[in-house]
Amino acid sequence: MKDDNEGDPVWNAWAEEQIDLHRASAELWKNDLIRVVHPASGERPDLVEITDAGRVAIA
C-alpha cells in the first residue's frame, strides 16, 4: 500500500518531528527525569510528571 503522504515535505518534516519528540521523551524516562502518571489511552498521550532527579537536573 502506498502512503498518500510519501514525498510530501511538510508531512515528512512533521513525521520527523514526532519521532524526535518520542525519542526525547523516552530518553527523559530512561534517565529517570520523568515518570508516567497515566499511560496513553488512545484518546490522549501519556501523562507524565517530573521526578526529583528531574528537578535536580533543571535546578
Neighbours of 35 (CB within 10 A): 14
Residue 45 CA to its chain's centroid (Å): 9
Residue 2 lies in a domain: no
What does each C-alpha distance from 37 to 3, 34, 40, 48 come to in angstroms? 34, 9, 10, 5
Domain presence at residue 25: yes
Q: How confident is the model at residue 2 (pLDDT cuts 50, 70, 90)?
A: low
pLDDT in tens, 6-55: 789 999 999 999 999 999 999 999 999 999 999 999 999 999 999 999 99
What pTM does this model have?
0.75
Structurally, the chain folds into a number of domains equal to 1
Range(s) of the domain holding residue 39:
9-58
1 found inside a domain: no
- 4: in domain: no
Residue 1: pLDDT band (50, 70, 90) is very low
